[in-house]
């Protein structure tokens, strides 16, 4: 199955555009997973927390997105491997996106692609575009795996360089243009477009109606869901994976019930927005209806 | 000791500007480290190879730069930890630069800083600027540790985005300007400037006389050493760490003698160039002598 087919299948089978971010900060684990007698709580707390999150959301999540920094900071690569294996058992249709923002010259990028796709078995990995084509190609070489390229990110510093304009287009538009036109032969490229910048997202949707966006920034970072849906949904009411990390996994102190409730609520709010959404009219149809 | 002091001390005590890249591709290991009866060769081949490299270059290297992708692709984080510990024993003055090109939003960047500085004990880490200030700051927060920001990289794709011009300055110059003027209060920021683009390096040296550059691209990537020294040396005949990875570690099939010979030759060639170099005149002195 190609990456594009896997993405579409994950959204259809879950009935959802929700991506659950697995960012288990050891300092913020639920109280009952700190020092409890359970051996998982004792020795593998990140894995124990992830099992809880996956159990609570397996029927709702179109994708899971572990942020590798939280595992590599504490030497918990084995818990990341175990967590991804657990997702495959409990939610076999869900995509696994390794959020690693990898980037390097060609032969090193190939090693990073092996890390994401072979070692961890992820379906897709996030990639930084600053180093250009040869640093991105290795992540797009396998049609069954995807690369999700940083475009307009959700953080305050996004404006520092991504908004710099050359010949009338900001850098993030140049990144999207180059990627969509030249690097996407396998239709396995997505873009990271932050929920905190709906105007920029609307421009990108207009320019690239066929490219799917991974959307961080809902919740803790302040992005507005309705504005995101209005700006980013494609002509089929899809084209988005909307990530929530802290807003789901730390809901209600991290209890299973609160995690599930937060994910259900987000999925429902998204689907209400999708039902109410008037798809954007393709530019070429203007004036003909 | 601050990072700036550590950098200066490493260059003085080694008498060298050489940075040895520890990029041990498992497919390219020296023959005698593949399947030999030595237990290191059997179970920890990357560590065994690195011990050989460090033993052969400990008195010559100002810095070592392990490329983390080659370890994380094969689950060899423990061998990276052991290799860095070995560098500390054998070459205590040398800097350890973790080449990881990390980048992410603030709280995740903090986790990556803990990975580089606490888990691995590196002195510095390479960082990608695309996400802007809040994604870079956590790597600059400790005066005794450094961040080395991608500026003009050595690969072919560097031109795709780094050369895009806005208001007359290309992106890589904007990155350098922002970093040097606003983010370097602790004097612990360096820039990655590839040897394959000496004209761009000369411009950057002119604009930022006080910032040190980490220079990849000599050797396998085709960068010219003399052009690099001419373009990049500062007023004190320093200001550079010149990296060689494949050109040193795979020299002569990876024998200890060949590795040492390649490192000695590079260090000597650099020092000949330093001796012959006429320092750039500070711009403000023009016309006064």
Render pLDDT for A193-205 as a digit per residue (tens, 0 to 9): 999 999 999 999 9
Q: How would residue B88 be classed by pLDDT, with cut points 50, 70 and 90? A: very high
Nearest residue on chain A to B153, judged by CA atoms? Answer: A131
Q: Is A28 on the interface with B (CB under 8 A)?
A: no
Residues A209-244: b if buried by 16+ CB within 10 A, e if exposed: bebbbbbbbbbebebebebbbbbbbbeebbbbbbbb
> Residues 228 to 287 of A: which have CB under 8 A from any B CB?
none
Cβ <8 Å between A111 and B160: no
Looking at per-residue confidence, does B223 or A189 come out higher? A189
Whether A288 has a pLDDT exceeding 80, the answer reads no
Looking at per-residue confidence, does B42 or B180 come out higher? B180
Q: Is B169 on the interface with A (CB under 8 A)?
A: no
| CA separation for the pair B60, B56 (Å, rounded) | 9
> Residues 109 to 128 of A: which have CB under 8 A from any B CB?
109, 111-112, 114-115, 118-119, 128
| CA separation for the pair B268, B22 (Å, rounded) | 20
Q: Which of A76, A99, A108 to mutate to test the interface with B (most CBs of B within 10 A)?
A: A108
* A119 CA: distance to closest CA in chain B (Å): 7
Q: Is B194 on the interface with A (CB under 8 A)?
A: no
Lowest-pLDDT range, A27-36, B77-86, B178-187, B207-216? A27-36
At A216, list the tokens.
């961080």
Q: Which of B105, B114, B220, B246 to mutate to test the interface with A (most CBs of A within 10 A)?
A: B105
Whether A38 has a pLDDT exceeding 50, the answer reads no
| φ/ψ of residue A165, rounded to 5 | -100, 135
* A157 CA: distance to closest CA in chain B (Å): 4
Rounded mean pLDDT of B7-11? Answer: 98
Whether B220 has a pLDDT exceeding 80, the answer reads no
Residues 6+ apart with CB under 8 A from A27: none
Render pLDDT for A125-140 as a digit per residue (tens, 0 to 9): 999 999 999 999 999 9
Threshold 0.80, pTM exceeds = yes
Q: Which residues of A are catalytic?
A: 101
What's residue B287's pLDDT?
46
B155 touches A134 (CB < 8 A): yes
Looking at per-residue confidence, does B40 or A187 come out higher? A187
Q: Which residues of A touch B72 (CB under 8 A)?
A: 72, 77, 111-112, 115, 119
Terminal Cα-to-Cα distance of chain A (whole angstroms): 37
Closest CA to B21 of B238, B241, B187, B275: B241
Residue-averaged pLDDT of chain B: 93
Render pLDDT for A65-108 as a digit per residue (tens, 0 to 9): 999 999 999 999 999 999 999 999 999 999 999 999 999 999 99
| φ/ψ of residue A94, rounded to 5 | -70, 145
Closest CA to B203 of B112, A180, B39, B211: B211
B184 touches B211 (CB < 8 A): yes
Whether B285 has a pLDDT exceeding 70, the answer reads no
Q: How would residue B284 be classed by pLDDT, with cut points 50, 70 and 90? A: low
A133 → closest Cβ in B70, B150, B157:
B157
What's residue A141's pLDDT?
98
Q: How would residue A280 be classed by pLDDT, with cut points 50, 70 and 90? A: low
Residues 6+ apart with CB under 8 A from B133: A156, A157, A160, B178, B182, B183
Residues 6+ apart with CB under 8 A from A237: A274, A277, A279
Domains and CATH numbers, chain A: 3-277 (3.20.20.70)
What's residue A27's pLDDT?
84
A103 → closest Cβ in B74, B101, B119:
B101
């Amino acid at each position: 199955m190609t990456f594009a087919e896997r993405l579409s299948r994950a959204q259809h089978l879950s009935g959802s555009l929700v991506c659950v971010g697995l960012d288990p900060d050891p300092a913020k684990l639920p109280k009952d997973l700190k020092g409890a007698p359970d051996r998982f709580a004792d020795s593998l707390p990140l894995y124990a927390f992830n099992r809880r999150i996956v159990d609570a959301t397996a029927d709702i999540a179109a994708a899971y997105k572990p942020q590798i920094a939280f595992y590599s900071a504490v030497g918990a690569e084995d818990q990341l491997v175990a967590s991804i294996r657990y997702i495959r058992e409990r939610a076999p249709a869900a995509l696994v996106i390794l959020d690693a923002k990898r980037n390097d010259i060609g032969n090193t990028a190939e090693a990073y692609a092996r890390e994401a796709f072979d070692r961890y078995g992820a379906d897709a990995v996030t990639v930084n575009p600053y180093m250009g084509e040869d640093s991105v190609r290795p992540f797009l070489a396998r049609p069954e795996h995807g690369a999700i390229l940083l475009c307009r990110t959700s953080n305050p510093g996004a404006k520092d360089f991504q908004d710099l304009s050359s010949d009338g287009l900001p850098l993030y538009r140049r990144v999207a243009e180059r990627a969509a036109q030249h690097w996407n032969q396998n239709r396995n490229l997505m873009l990271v477009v932050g929920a905190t910048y709906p105007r920029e997202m609307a421009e990108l949707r207009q320019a690239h109606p066929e490219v799917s966006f991974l959307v961080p920034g809902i919740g803790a970072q302040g992005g507005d869901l309705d504005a995101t849906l209005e700006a980013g949904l494609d002509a089929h009411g899809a084209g988005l994976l909307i990530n929530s990390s802290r807003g789901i996994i730390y809901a209600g102190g991290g209890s299973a019930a609160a995690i599930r409730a937060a994910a259900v609520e987000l999925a429902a709010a998204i689907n209400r927005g999708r039902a109410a959404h008037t798809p954007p009219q393709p530019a070429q149809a203007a004036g003909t209806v």
